[in-house]
Amino acid sequence: PAQADVRGGQFQLTAASRILAVSNLKNEAQLLAARLRPATGFPLQVKSGKLKISDGDIVLTPNGADASLGAEGYELSVTTNRAVIRATTAAGMFYGMESLLQLLPQEIFSNQPASGIAWTMPCAEISDAPRFAWRGFMLDVSRHFFTVAEVKQVLDLMALYKLNTFHWHLVDDQGWRIQIKKYPKLTEVGAWRDDIGFGLASNSATAYDKHGRYGGFYTQRDIREVVAYAAARHITVVPEIEMPGHSSAALTAYPQFVCAHAKIVMPGKGGVFTGVYCAGNDATFVFLGNVLKEVAGLFPGKYIHIGGDEVDKSNWKNCAECQARIKAEGLKDEKELQAYFIRRIEKIVEARGKNLIGWSEIREGGLAPSAALMDWIGGGAESAASGHDVVMTPTKYCYFDYYQSTNHAAEPKAIGGFLPLESVYQLEPMPEKLAPEFQAHVLGGQANLWTEYVPNLRQVEYMMFPRLGALSEVDWSRPTARDWEDFKTRTALNEKRLDAMGVNYRPLSKPE
């Protein structure tokens, strides 16, 4: 935390303890009670309104909160009599609750009764607020499908680390995972493939239907359920609908939107696949506009992510319609055609009251006027300096699909690379030479977990932890507050919390 003063004495939670909260903090109070009850066995009644505070109570109140701490800041005061969290918003209150949990014995995170534990926390005065507004984690559910229950588990773990943005990679070559009612074949066809692929054992995942097809998708009801679950934990969900590349699943279902000469075959079914929408066909933009209309209606957050990365432009070079578009719009080449594509999609996104965000490559040919950039291979500093919002997610520090050891034989199969815990902790989201007047455009940092070789939740957890703890601290804390040796000590303690929750992780003691 930004400031913490540990004092003498302890506060003890007992069976008589209550959680007192003003009425608009009932959601937070109930979430706190739900976390405290299983391990303690205490009833922990939630009460609201004007109540007399008794010894042993936990109090959630905006009264006297320091407004200078901002929308996500909080103060936590623990005395021998009670624990009080003050915040001006429900989000700040939630983060104060997460800090309170960390002051209790690690067994508090168990979902089973823990006997013989003195449920005490040290007396302390904490004043805290995050450095960055965007503290993100991306999960790719296209390569392998994860159930609603599994996604909720990921959200719970994000909340523990005070992350507030869940980037949901719903669409790619290998699977279309979101129901679009106007285009049912997107999920009837695009959500399934013949086998697990990627050279993985077929039994390393369970996402098969009764016909043996591999995949799955979320209904719009599922999507709303996940979004609401995330919102209750103060997490915004950012959907990613890939375009113009990485779109084989969609184009297998609706091949009329690929360049006329191109062959499109879903990965896992053999043949050649291109996965790039035709930029010269106006019907492509009608189709994507209809898709984005339904997407925008499901996600109340500010951003829709449209990908924009790794676009194979060879189809466009050989497509009469794309070449005609280049000529008609006065474009120089296929790079500018991609910029034209993104600008046109940006107008569609903005018409739905959203902002477009995409990967580094959306800068090619000129960045769309109001677009935000997610920097994985460069361009973040330049984009921020030109007035665009930026999220920093460089591969060197943020790609959790990379190995955690140079000894690959001792690790689960991964895509390659090497990203040890210390490297994640060395991330500095703020570009070094960015002028102060543009620094507000750097929204924060994000970890990405691409899942080509991560087919089940246990492996997702192993790739997330302990690295997600490092990423969360980089996003939350000031650089002057970070200390690698101290972080390792706290990571060892955090392993006990993960053990209590039954979460898989890579032990700190395991050689890199």
Any catalytic annotation for residue 333? no
Q: Is 172 exposed, middle or buried (0-12, 13-18, 19+ CB in 10 A)?
A: buried
Six-digit token string for 189: 């066809």
Among residues 234, 246, 305, 388, the one annotated as catalytic is 246
Question: What ranges make up the beta strands (E) of 245-295?
Answer: none
- What is the maximal distance between C-alpha atoms in the chain? 77
DSSP string, 331-358: --SHHHHHHHHHHHHHHHHHHTT-EEEE
Instruction: Tell which residue, 491, 461, 472, 454, has the closest CA to residue 154.
Output: 461
Q: CA dihedral defined by 204, 208, 213, 218, rounded to 10 degrees?
A: -120
Q: Which residues pair with 75 in a beta bridge?
A: 86, 127
Instruction: Tell which residue, 178, 201, 199, 313, has the closest CA to residue 249.
Output: 178
SS3 category, 8: strand
DSSP string, 60-76: EE-TT--GGG-TT-EEE
Measured in whole angstroms, the distance separating CA 325 from the mean position of its chain's CA atoms is 36
Any catalytic annotation for residue 172? yes
What is the C-alpha to C-alpha distance for residues 137 and 157, in angstroms, rounded to an integer?
11
| 425 neighbors 467 (Cβ within 8 angstroms) | no
What is the C-alpha to C-alpha distance for residues 20 and 33, in angstroms, rounded to an integer?
11
How is the chain split among helix, strand and coil, in percent rounded to 5? 40, 20, 40
| 309 neighbors 245 (Cβ within 8 angstroms) | yes
| 128 neighbors 72 (Cβ within 8 angstroms) | no
Helices 334-351 & 282-298 angle (0-180, nearest 10): 40
Among residues 209, 310, 333, 483, the one annotated as catalytic is 310
Q: Which residues pair with 352 in a beta bridge?
A: none
SS3 category, 232: helix
The residue whose two tokens read 């050989």 is 318
Q: What angle do CA 303, 358, 223 make, to 5 degrees?
A: 45
| 335 neighbors 365 (Cβ within 8 angstroms) | yes
Among residues 28, 75, 172, 173, the one annotated as catalytic is 172
Distances (CA, A) of 3 to 75, 102, 124, 331, 477: 10, 15, 10, 54, 10
Q: Which residues are annotated as catalytic?
A: 172, 246, 310
